[in-house]
Amino acid sequence: MTSPHTAFEPPNRKFKIIPAFVGGLEVVLLIGASTGAAVMAQSLFTPSLGEALGLAGNEQNLLGGAWTMLRIFAVQYGVLIGLAALFGLLRGRHSLKSHALGKGNLSTLGIIKWGVALGLVAGAPATLVLFLQDVAPFGQDTPVWAALRETPWDMRFWTFLFVGSFGLVPLLEEVTWRGYALGRMTEVIAPGAAILFTSVPFALLHVQYASTDPAMIATSVSVMVASLAFAFTTLRTGTIWPAVIGHAIINLPADSWLGAVQLGLAVLVLIAFFRPITAEIGKWIELLFRWTTLQAFVALVPVILLAGLAMAFQAYAFWIALAVFVLTLGLGLIYRSAWRHKPA
């Protein structure tokens, strides 16, 4: 049954333990496989990110770094898209709507408005951290931030960041996490649980911010805020494109002057649209804090335990993943996609 206030949810979703377990397994399997492929690809392609940024004492090679990232992304997301296509074909999930790739319930102008507002407001915490780090540092920079602060904003700089930050990354990550993963989980569990199950891992996988440093903690919190906002927006509108636009705005490079402009615009948006924004957040809270959100995690606990098992016994991770792949594929043929059904 479709929940109130949602536009990205199949019409005939019913919570059952085994389909929810299978859905969680599939998402963990595909994200894990693509992450593993990315790690392997990093060891194959040169220059490495550190070499491209000059962290090894060499001259920066940002164009070489952009080319390396392109190849890593091709491997990483090629694996994910290939597996998602295989499971989708077998289970009957292959429409644009089932991956939130259409316009949802918005017009083109509406998509742009939602995206800009999302980028400014949900991105305000991240912008504030970067602004403060530039004018009154309260913690350490990541090696990437530190290297890029000293880099001229020339064609090489913008090419590198287009590939690795504000251009390709928002598109690839939103297609993966909000299009594929969120859509897969809304088939089998309540919207609030689907949001948490996909948003929290997305934030935690930003391991470059895993530190007790105050600036890194603040950045991790800002990533979690943005991740939740992207998921709620996709669920409410039925399309990933506002999240793609908002994600791109958040990832844009900003010095102290540009950061101040972005923060000022965020304040203006909040003042001008305070009532609709607070009403929207109220609907987000309503979706999240339901009994069905907690209920869904009963089915997902074994999935989390299996993922932990694979991480604890990394020597056998391949065989565990292979067994999970066969199990998920077989069960996927039994429990077909709820996206196959059209509303009555």
Instruction: State pLDDT tens for residues 288-342.
Output: 888 888 888 777 888 888 777 777 787 777 888 888 899 898 988 899 998 886 6
pLDDT at residue 229 greater than cutoff 50:
yes
Judged by phi (left if over 0) then psi (alpha if -120 to 50, else beta), residue 235 lies in alpha
pLDDT at residue 344 greater than cutoff 50:
no
Spatial contact of 244 and 115, defined as CB atoms under 8 Å apart: yes
Dist. CA 98–CA 103, nearest whole Å:
12
**81-85, 228-232, 252-256, 312-316: least confident range:** 312-316
Give the predicted TM-score (pTM) of the model: 0.94
Spatial contact of 307 and 28, defined as CB atoms under 8 Å apart: yes
Q: What is the pLDDT of residue 4?
A: 58
Give percent of the chain with pLDDT exceeding 90.
68
For 26-76, write each residue's pLDDT tens digit: 999 999 999 999 999 999 999 999 999 998 888 999 999 999 999 999 999
Tokens 């065989």, located at residue: 319
- The residue ranking higher by pLDDT, 15 or 238, is 238
Question: Helix (H) and strand (E) counts for the chain?
Answer: 16, 0
Residue 89 CA to chain centroid, in angstroms?
A: 23
Phi, psi of 267 (to 5 degrees): -65, -45
Dist. CA 184–CA 17, nearest whole Å:
15
Quickly list DSSP for 166-210: ISHHHHHHHIIIIIIIHHHHTTTS-HHHHHHHHHHHHHHT-GGG-
Cis peptide before 4 (omega within 30 of 0): no
Name the pLDDT band for 2 (thresholds 50, 70, 90): low
Dist. CA 173–CA 250, nearest whole Å:
13
DSSP symbol at 176: I
Q: What is the pLDDT of residue 341?
A: 64
Dist. CA 187–CA 95, nearest whole Å:
14
Mention every residue, 6+ apart, whose C-beta is less than 8 A from residue 263.
Answer: 124, 127, 128, 131
Reduced to 3 states, what is the DSSP secondary structure of residue 123?
coil
- Would you state the structure tokens that stand for residue 251, as one six-digit string? 């990832």
Q: Using CA of residue 257, residue 262, residue 264, residue 265, what is the dihedral sign?
A: positive
In this structure, the chain runs to a length of 344
Give percent of the chain with pLDDT exceeding 70.
98
Please give the single-letter amino acid code of residue 46.
Answer: T
- The residue ranking higher by pLDDT, 135 or 1, is 135
DSSP symbol at 313: T
Name the pLDDT band for 11 (thresholds 50, 70, 90): confident
Q: What is the pLDDT of residue 42?
A: 93
Residue 266 CA to chain centroid, in angstroms?
A: 22
